[in-house]
Amino acid sequence: MDAVPASLRIAQESAGTAVVVRIAGPLDRSHYAEVRRHLLKCATEAPSAIVVDVRSMECADPVALSVFVTVADQVAKWPSVPLRLVCGRDSRAVTAASPLRRFLDVHATTEEALAADCGSTRVVARIELPNDHSAMRIGRGFIRDTLVVWGLDRVAQDCLLMSAELVQNTIQHTLSAPTVRLEHRRGVLTIAVYDDDPTQPQHAVDPGKGLSGTHGLDLVAFLATAWGSAPTPTGGKVVWATLRTGAREPAGPGSDGDPDADRS
């Protein structure tokens, strides 16, 4: 993770399938970008929740607290991860009257925040593909089989089209082996492709001209509910896209408790 100014200390640890980030020291506007970057990098690992403990943090600048609202809004879109703030019962940073409490899921203790996630179910599967054109065939089979098991074959066509474009981009423009990750949670299917190249793709503008003749990231933008990219903690990137399914998450292999059902 990126270093932050010495006056502010950030530590993180895993707690089951969630991640707990502890922030201590004075927070002001000069820390905004670094705190945002740290939390967004945590999100690229797609934990079940990001729990931010600010009980040892001092708010030197109340405007700086908006970083938590910004990140919560962004990670709610992808990877559909809730951000929960732990403030204690008498927080020095977030008082009982703070307007922040209207926009964030606030808890008194870390244990309480982690327990709030217990009712959420997700299914996840991933596969690492070779950096050659066999990746397209292997990836199609993996996605098709996974969606059948999850009962989501009705969105398979759009998912296959988008994943093919994302995998093809990795093969064409990087030397790394793409990793494809599928996740279904809260009626949203996410297709994410990870690689080791830090170069972010140029954001396409939705062409609005229909599907015929559309390809590449324009096709992803046309089909997806939302899409984007982000740097990963390992120095690479992830490019992701989501589709709404309106379906409940199926139970079975790959559900929380064993969140990553690997195929390789």
For residue range 163-206, what is the model confidence (pLDDT) as tens digits?
999 999 999 999 999 999 999 987 889 999 999 999 988 765 55
Residue 51, number of CB atoms within 10 A of its CB: 28
The residue with tokens 């093969």 is 171
Look at residue 254 in the predicted model and tell me its pLDDT: 44
Let me know: does 261 contact 122? Beta carbons within 8 Å: no
Task: Say if residues 182 and 126 touch (Cβ distance below 8 Å).
Answer: yes
Q: What angle do CA 20, 23, 27 make, to 5 degrees?
A: 145
Instruction: Kindly tell me the sign of the dihedral angle through the C-alpha atoms of 99, 100, 104, 110.
Output: negative
Is the Cβ–Cβ distance between 144 and 156 less than 8 Å? Answer: yes
For 72-102, the pLDDT digits (tens) are 998 887 888 899 999 887 666 677 777 777 8
What residues pair up with 68 in beta bridges, in sequence order? Answer: none
Quote the mean pLDDT of the chain: 84
pLDDT band at 253 (very low <50, low <70, confident <90, very high): very low
94 vs 196: CA distance, rounded Å: 38
